[in-house]
């Protein structure tokens, strides 16, 4: 049997996506309910990794509509990244053990 | 950096994100986990910025500086009671950022290498882009409505009108049609039309949902923001975004499921809306059965002489800003040799895990705050249950009356403890709009007062 020489890269990405959903499923079920609020704020922060798309858009030297949109998107995502991690850290610092 | 090296750096970032979530399995590992998350984000950003196509550093720095300072200031100032609003607002920003990035990629596809031989957007990229932008737009406008309802800018009452579901279904079909048309002909008209209509459906989907169901909605929008990121990740062929989107998407979905189960509501019925407004239960039948009322001195006497007390907090506790007073009361009781613990129902706050954060802020050690499954079997051997700011989650009719609207809802079995002290302003029903049999039970003593005032008086009496 001849082995297919090329697989559509989309299939690779889809495989990664499906596997990541399973990873997410098992990891999130292991999160203690007491930390569900920090879970939400930290997922908020990491979903702002969408900033990488914005950086590419704002990257070119010439000013274009695309660049302006990228600039705005970097600002929005940065609010989330800095705000999300900072508020998570603030909450987690409150969880103390019995003295 | 070569494409392979970049992809490898994104993989490391994704692994760090998974470890950030994994850290949350216990409060001891959570802080380290958060640092992993920050490291992952730094790697993803730096990897992208060193790309030779990215040269406009001033723009990037200015944007990062503005956004970063706004975010940090908000994060350091926000009150813990306002966390649900903050999270809803952050979700809306992820949604809007997804729309902006999709638009940026639409106007400059060459920068992302997603054009075909003729220089137009690839077919697969069109479909992925359309899905990403639609989900992003729904996340944005839906989160704004959720924010407004949580913040009290708009009424928590469901806004319903005749034919609502039909209208939403038709708009949904129109969006699907536009996605198909955009895939065949990527014209700006279709792009912006489908974005605008998706903004509209986001508003329409959330307005009929009542304030009581907001914990589910905030979780659901968390999930949407993840799927939007994953959609954009497919468009930009970026694995870090795809993996992170999938993680966040499944996380939000699980939290929605947990919230629905805790409220005994099906996800579909929450989405369809029309339930749980601010004034729900105005028409509930009140019974004239006698209740036993007590004073702060009575409560102090009973608790001081008990060997174990379980405090059952609800959101009313946070509204009255009584967390610190309650902790002080617990400290005094412990001085008298009483074993004090807290029983947390999953929907005790206004978002998943909210009550745990509020108690942690009041310096309650996390080992004392127990989940429903952990504490429920202990109520039978508990001397005193002290219910404050909670109502429906203690209603025994969920267990006993199959006709009850909350039948089957998991509740805290406080009625099984020897004595129940119930702090409440009046006998009014909770969100579910039903009477609580617990008020009239022989072993219940009602403490009619504002939560904070009552607890302060008990502290004085101890």
Instruction: Please tell me the number of Cα atoms within 13 Å of B9 on its side-chain side.
Output: 19
Distance CA B234, CA B305 (A): 63
pLDDT digits (tens, 9 = 90+) for B16-38: 999 999 999 999 999 999 999 99
B7 touches chain A (CB under 8 A): no
- Tell whether the model's pLDDT for residue B413 goes beyond 50: yes
Burial class (CB within 10 angstroms; exposed 0-12, middle 13-18, buried 19+) of B288: exposed
Q: Is the model's pLDDT at B120 over the cut of 90?
A: no
For B450, the token pair is: 């504002």
| Closest residue to B56, CB basis, from A61, A81, A85 | A61
Closest residue in A to B237 (Cα) is A13
pLDDT of residue B244: 95
The answer to whether B252 faces chain A, any CB pair under 8 Å, is yes
Residue B316 scores a pLDDT above 50: yes
pLDDT at B449 over 90: no
Q: Is B331 on the interface with A (CB under 8 A)?
A: no
Using a CB-CB distance cutoff of 8 angstroms, which residues of chain A are in contact with residue B91? 44
Apex B193 CA angle, B190 and B196, nearest 5: 150
- What pLDDT does B407 receive? 80
Phi, psi of A54, rounded to the nearest 5 degrees: -70, -35
Strands B384-388 and B339-344: unpaired
Active site residue B82: no
Q: Which residue of A has its CA nearest to B40?
A: A46
Number of helices (H), then strands (E), belonging to chain B: the values are: 17, 6
Tell me, what's the pLDDT at B286?
55
Cα–Cα separations (whole angstroms), residue B80 to A94, B292, B321 = 11, 35, 11
Mean predicted confidence (pLDDT) in B69-86 = 94
pLDDT score, position B151: 87
* Closest among B138, B42, B50, B146 to B89, alpha carbons compared: B146
Residues of chain A falling short of pLDDT 70: 1-4, 99
Q: In this complex, is the C-beta atom of A15 within 8 Å of any C-beta atom belonging to chain B?
A: no
| pLDDT level of residue B110 (50, 70, 90 thresholds) | confident
Residue B281 has pLDDT above 50, yes or no: no
pLDDT of residue B287: 61
In this model, does residue B284 exceed pLDDT 70? no
pLDDT tens, B140-150? 999 999 999 88
Higher-confidence residue of B2 and A41: namely A41
Catalytic residue among B51, B298, B392, B413: B392
ipTM value greater than 0.90: yes
Nearest C-alpha in A relative to B104: A66
Q: How confident is the model at residue B426 (pLDDT cuts 50, 70, 90)?
A: confident
CA–CA–CA angle B249, B254, B258 (5° rounding): 150
Let me know if B133 is exposed, middle or buried by CB neighbors in 10 A (0-12, 13-18, 19+): buried
């Amino acid at each position: 049997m001849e082995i297919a020489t090329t697989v559509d890269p989309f299939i690779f990405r889809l495989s990664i996506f499906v596997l990541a959903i399973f990873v997410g499923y098992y990891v999130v079920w292991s999160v203690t309910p007491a930390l569900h609020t920090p879970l939400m704020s930290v997922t908020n922060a990491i979903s702002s990794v969408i900033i990488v798309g914005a950086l590419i858009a704002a990257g070119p030297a010439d000013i274009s509509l695309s660049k302006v949109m990228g600039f705005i998107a970097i600002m929005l995502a940065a609010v989330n990244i800095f705000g999300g991690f900072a508020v998570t850290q603030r909450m987690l610092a409150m969880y103390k053990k019995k003295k | 950096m070569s494409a392979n090296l970049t992809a490898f750096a994104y993989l490391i970032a994704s692994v760090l994100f998974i470890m950030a979530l994994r850290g949350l399995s216990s409060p001891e590992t959570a802080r380290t986990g958060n640092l992993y998350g920050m490291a992952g984000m730094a790697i993803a950003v730096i990897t992208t910025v060193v790309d030779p196509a990215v040269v406009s550093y001033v723009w990037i720095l200015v944007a990062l500086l503005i956004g970063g300072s706004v975010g940090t200031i908000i994060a350091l100032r926000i009150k813990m009671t306002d966390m649900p609003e903050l999270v809803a607002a952050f979700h809306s920003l992820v949604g809007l950022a997804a729309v902006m990035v999709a638009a940026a990629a639409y106007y400059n596809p060459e920068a992302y290498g997603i054009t075909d031989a003729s220089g137009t957007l690839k077919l697969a990229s069109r479909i992925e882009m359309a899905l990403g932008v639609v989900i992003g737009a729904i996340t944005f406008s839906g989160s704004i409505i959720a924010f407004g309802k949580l913040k009290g800018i708009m009424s928590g009452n469901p806004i319903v009108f005749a034919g609502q579901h039909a209208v939403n279904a038709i708009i949904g079909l129109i969006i699907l049609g536009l996605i198909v048309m955009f895939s065949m002909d990527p014209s700006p008209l279709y792009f912006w039309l489908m974005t605008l209509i998706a903004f509209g459906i986001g508003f329409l989907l959330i307005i009929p949902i009542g304030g009581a169901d907001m914990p589910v909605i905030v979780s659901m929008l968390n999930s949407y923001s993840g799927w939007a990121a994953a959609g954009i990740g497919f468009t930009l062929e970026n694995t870090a975004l795809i993996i992170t989107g999938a993680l966040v998407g499944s996380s939000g979905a699980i939290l929605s499921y947990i919230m629905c189960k805790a409220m005994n509501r099906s996800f579909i019925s929450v989405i369809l809306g029309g339930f749980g407004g601010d004034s729900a239960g105005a028409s509930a039948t009140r019974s004239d059965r006698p209740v036993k009322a007590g004073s702060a001195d009575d409560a102090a006497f009973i608790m001081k002489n008990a060997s174990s007390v379980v405090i059952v907090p609800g959101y009313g506790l946070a509204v009255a800003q009584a967390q610190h007073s309650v902790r002080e009361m617990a400290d005094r009781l412990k001085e008298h040799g009483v074993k004090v613990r807290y029983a947390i129902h999953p929907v005790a706050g206004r978002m998943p895990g909210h009550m745990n954060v509020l108690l942690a802020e009041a310096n309650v050690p996390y080992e004392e705050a127990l989940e429903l499954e952990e504490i429920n079997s202990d109520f039978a051997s508990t001397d005193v249950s002290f219910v404050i700011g909670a109502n429906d989650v203690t209603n025994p009719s969920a267990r006993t009356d199959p006709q009850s609207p909350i039948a089957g809802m998991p509740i805290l079995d406080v009625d099984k403890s020897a004595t129940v002290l119930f702090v409440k302003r009046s006998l009014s029903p909770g969100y579910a709009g039903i009477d609580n049999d617990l008020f009239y039970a022989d072993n219940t003593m009602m403490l009619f007062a504002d939560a904070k005032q009552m607890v302060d008086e008990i502290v004085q009496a101890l």
